[in-house]
Amino acid sequence: MSDFGFGMWAGTAVNDTSSVVAAGYSYSEKAGGLATIVKLTRALMIVPVCLIFALLMAREKANSGAGFNFRKIFPWFILWFVIASIVNTTGVLPEPLSQPLGSCGKFAIVMAMTAIGLNTRLGELVKHGLRPIFLGLCCWAAVACMSLLVQYLIGII
């Protein structure tokens, strides 16, 4: 598979951003860069999707006569993510400040992933049955295969 093909596949088929970066760069520098761009583009699509669903919910609540508060349903972390991306991209922050903030962000992601791992109890997962695990596996396989199929159909691989 070409660097381009692998980067596209990793960026679309792998769910976690840090895993996308690791997978892409373990293949090649070019694949890593492309995988990261594809994944971040996917992540940015959360913004319009959340806005659309928030507006649909607002309309539904208004039609039913129930009270509605946009502030309560909109995931505000998305707005802060977009603002941070714009600030970093435009160069508003000087490099001596931007680089340490980026390192702090990476550290925070590592700590969050560690916390998730430390709070995961395999026994609890098995106790609730293997169906949820099997569903997750099936969803992952469907996304991975669909990514490869789309690339095949458009001539990337």
Task: Convert the pLDDT of each residue in 121-154 to its tens digit.
Answer: 888 878 888 888 899 899 989 998 998 998 899 8
More confident residue, 98 or 75: 98
Question: What's the domain count of the chain?
Answer: 1
Residue 40 in any domain: the answer is yes
**What is the share, in percent, of the chain residues with pLDDT greater than 90?**
23
74 in Cβ contact with 48 (< 8 Å): no
| DSSP-assigned states of every residue in 75-124 | -HHHHHHHHHHHHHHHT-S-HHHHHHHHHHHHHHHHHHHHHHHHH--HHH
Distance in Å from the first CA to the final CA of the chain? 7
Mean pLDDT, the chain, rounded, equals 85
Residue 108 in any domain: the answer is no
What mean pLDDT do residues 46-74 have?
78
What mean pLDDT do residues 64-77 have?
72
Q: Report the pLDDT value the prediction gives residue 10, as an integer from 0 to 100.
A: 93
Q: Report the pLDDT value the prediction gives residue 68, as an integer from 0 to 100.
A: 67
Residue 84 in any domain: the answer is no
Residue 66 in any domain: the answer is no
143 in Cβ contact with 12 (< 8 Å): yes
More confident residue, 74 or 52: 52
Residue 69 in any domain: the answer is no
Residue 4 in any domain: the answer is yes
**What is the share, in percent, of the chain residues with pLDDT greater than 70?**
96
27 in Cβ contact with 10 (< 8 Å): yes
Determine the structural domain holding residue 12 and report its residue range. Answer: 1-44+125-157
Residue 143 in any domain: the answer is yes
Residue 51 in any domain: the answer is no
What mean pLDDT do residues 45-64 have?
82
Instruction: Report the distance separating Cα 76 and Cα 155, nearest Å.
Output: 39
